[in-house]
Structure 1
């Protein structure tokens, strides 16, 4: 579909939060394939597909995580598929179509990239952490997030914003960053990649920052407490001031 040209099919939270025809086509394909093989399962997709199942298994799908990157011809987008049982991901796959990279994980079975076992980086002090983050598409939310990230920047090694929650969490699992924090991801953004990160040795938490949106925080397990403690005075929790001297 990219080779034939990409058109914006719709918008969501704002005019810059786009949906392409490829998002919808990929979701239809995944639903047909998964429920064709397992018709008693449930299905939840970002683009609105919701099927109640009877088996206890629900597939949670983001057909294109990083749609704006896809729209602009960038490689940082992914297809994310997770199987969840009783509200917990038990298997997940994140595929980066541009590179063919496949991240997989099963509960208790480890995390892999193209068949190679993954492990998070060793714990470093917060001041030496390379942090991945992201931003929403509503102006008010972006302004709040920008203030929090600006307060965090002098406290860490550096910050990156690749543009895909799923690939950010997989990067943590692969040892390519030390932490991830973002306000606003939905379940389909992190259902699979959160399991990949956890099985690689990360702690992944979905917190309530008091803004009506979820706050996803992830680090190597031993680093979580120190990193989480920095987020409050920076304003990520909704209670902080965003003052870099706090």
Structure 2
């Protein structure tokens, strides 16, 4: 996914907005952490298609904290959050929020969840943050500015690792059952999984963070919403990776997504998925 630099906002403006995105993640973290591993965490089921789809008060509290800060500092911007929907703005910027990506992990006490803050400019992703407050980690990026991990007051640049062959790849997906709803998807995923060295389940957004950090090589998913991917696209691309739909096109609105740290691996994965899924 490439952009003409002339079509982007000025770099100092984007840098300031990325700083705000990091503060938004911090505010959401303060709202959700008291509920993590709490003894009396109430869980609602908002399923639409017969599959358990949990939401907690922590999800809602996290998004309320983000929205309150945005309303105070950026009232002209649009907001689109998983829990409270969409608010129109006039600035051309839209904040796309998933206050807890990985709610299933959250309610199980696992740390594979994150706070996703994405920023779109005229419909295109330009900045993103993955916050993991329990681990004290913030993964962040803006287009043209690189991708970084901060933890414990220290920071480092993120860089994907080379991996040119499926047989050498470590791959994540949230759950193979996500591919059962659409004909052809499960067969395509299963074929790809048989080709890689190691497949792991249940990482949600944290799997993408690990690809950006050079700890893994590939993520394949389907049925994603815009707020599932908005924050991830700048982080993956600025770290040197590639993230697209299964045909190699734009995935900024969600759907079928394949992310790889190495463009050569991405091409192989797209070819394998396309062979069976369409």
What's the TM-score once normalised by structure 1's chain length? 0.86
| Structural mapping, 1:170-209, within 5 Å | 170-207=209-246
Instruction: Indicate the residue corresponding to 1:230 in structure 2.
Output: 272
Q: Output the CA distance in 2 between the equivalents of 1:205 and 1:26.
A: 28
The answer to whether the Cα contact below 8 Å between 1:181 and 1:216 also exists between their aligned partners in 2 is yes
Instruction: Indicate the residue corresponding to 2:181 in structure 1.
Output: 141
The answer to whether the Cα contact below 8 Å between 2:178 and 2:221 also exists between their aligned partners in 1 is no
Q: 70, 73, 85: which is aligned to 1:37?
A: 73
The answer to whether the Cα contact below 8 Å between 2:179 and 2:186 also exists between their aligned partners in 1 is no
Report the CA distance between 1:183 and its aligned residue: 0.8
Report the CA distance between 1:177 and its aligned residue: 1.0
Q: Output the CA distance in 1 between the equivalents of 2:143 and 2:178.
A: 35
**Tell me, what secondary structure is at the counterpart of 1:141?**
coil
1:57-87 Cα offsets, whole Å, 9 max, x none, are 1100000000000011111010000111011
Q: 215, 218, 224: which is aligned to 2:256?
A: 215
Instruction: Indicate the residue corresponding to 1:98 in structure 2.
Output: 134
Q: Output the CA distance in 1 between the equivalents of 2:68 and 2:80.
A: 12
Report the CA distance between 1:142 and its aligned residue: 8.5
Report the CA distance between 1:154 and its aligned residue: 2.1
Segments of 5+ residues of structure 1 without an aligned counterpart are 240-246
Q: Output the CA distance in 1 between the equivalents of 2:146 and 2:229.
A: 17
Q: Output the CA distance in 1 between the equivalents of 2:81 and 2:57.
A: 15
**Cα 1:141–1:15, aligned 2, differ >3 Å: closer, same or farther?**
closer
- Asked if 1:6 corresponds to 2:41, the answer is yes
**Tell me, what secondary structure is at the counterpart of 1:74?**
coil
**Tell me, what secondary structure is at the counterpart of 1:184?**
strand
What's the TM-score once normalised by structure 2's chain length? 0.77
Report the CA distance between 1:134 and its aligned residue: 2.3
The answer to whether the Cα contact below 8 Å between 1:90 and 1:106 also exists between their aligned partners in 2 is yes
**Cα 1:7–1:57, aligned 2, differ >3 Å: closer, same or farther?**
same
**Cα 1:138–1:170, aligned 2, differ >3 Å: closer, same or farther?**
closer
**Cα 1:208–1:16, aligned 2, differ >3 Å: closer, same or farther?**
farther
**Cα 1:24–1:144, aligned 2, differ >3 Å: closer, same or farther?**
farther
Coordinate RMSD, CA, aligned: 2.3
Q: 157, 161, 169: which is aligned to 2:197?
A: 157
Report the CA distance between 1:189 and its aligned residue: 1.0
Q: 76, 84, 100: which is aligned to 1:48?
A: 84
